[in-house]
A = this chain, B = another copy of it.
Amino acid sequence: MKEQKIHSGWKNTLHEIIYEADTPLGKFFDIVLFVLIILSVILVMLESVKEVDQNFHKILLTLEWVVTIFFTLEYIARLISIKKPWKYVFSFYGIIDLVSTIPLYLSYIFAGSQVLLAVRAFRLLRIFRILKLVKFMGEASQLKAALKASRAKIAVFIYVVMILSVIMGTIMYLIESNEAGFTSIPRSIYWTIVTLTTVGYGDIAPQTNLGQFLATIIMVLGYGIIAVPTGIVTVEFSRHKNGDKTKSVVHTNTQACPSCASEGHRDDASNCYNCGELL
């Protein structure tokens, strides 16, 4: 362990700073990254507002360059400080990091591309990695576990809702034929889901008596149906809550393997569970 440290000391330090959050410098780096991600997403939003973009285009562009350069340096640092760079490049966060970095460069190659503007909003996904900082992590794990356990039931539920929507949508299309926005079956299905989920925009609304009668049935159905996912999740929550101490120990180890960048190690881990590298 000692030899290894000496071998590539600065790389290890860089790894600690960039990938982990249990040293003061690592924490500081994560906070800077957090602020820059939020800033860059706000920049994307402001650029999309015409009045703001017209008046402050230069400032926005400059700030975007600042963010992009920081992200570029960070991406390079991540590549250098890890032992198996290709594994990182093709990992989920590796791709997100690359996509977060390149839009501004690309916009000079493919001029005027609107889509690139918005791709930058995906930078927000990077925030999930910095969640390591947050003390709520244990809570998030519990939520995730409960949702995972009720996954199958929710799938069945959505499946039934889908079939119901298609059949109801088709019937509504026949009843309201071409009136009031029910111009095609897909649009009728769209309306049915809008109604069943109690969203109810009102851009499409039944006009005939029969249509309104069927609509009330769909609504009351939707009202009853909303109880199902709630029931499922509540029961799972209460199970996970009660079984806390014995079953699911929540590990809040924020270290990432210096070799393969895999995360989620046990609190008492000294070797990577994936590649065996010392942590």
Listed in ascending order, the chain A residues whose CB lies under 8 Å from chain B are 41, 44-45, 48-50, 114-115, 118, 121-122, 124-125, 127-128, 135-136, 139-140, 142-143, 146-147, 152-159, 161, 163, 166-167, 170-171, 173-174, 177, 183-187, 189-190, 193-195, 197-203, 205, 209, 212-213, 215-216, 219-220, 222-224, 226-239, 241
Contact assessment for A184 and B49 in the assembled complex, using a CB-CB cutoff below 8 Å: yes
- Number of copies of this chain that the complex holds: 4
Residues of B within 8 A of A127 (CB): 163
Contact assessment for B220 and A158 in the assembled complex, using a CB-CB cutoff below 8 Å: yes
Residues of B within 8 A of A136 (CB): 152-153, 155-156, 159
A184 to B42, CA, bound (A): 12
Residues of B within 8 A of A231 (CB): 146, 230, 233-234, 236-237
Given contacts A174-B118, A216-B193, contact A184 B234 (CB under 8 A): no
A241 to B201, CA, bound (A): 37
By beta carbon, the residue of chain B nearest A203 is B205
By beta carbon, the residue of chain B nearest A163 is B124
Contact assessment for A232 and B237 in the assembled complex, using a CB-CB cutoff below 8 Å: yes
Give the shortest distance, in Å, between A170 (CB) and chain B (any CB).
4
Residues of B within 8 A of A209 (CB): 186
Residues of B within 8 A of A232 (CB): 143, 227, 237
Write 13 A-B pairs (CB below 8 A) sorted by A numbering: A48-B173, A48-B185, A48-B186, A50-B183, A136-B156, A139-B153, A139-B155, A139-B156, A143-B228, A161-B220, A190-B212, A223-B226, A235-B241
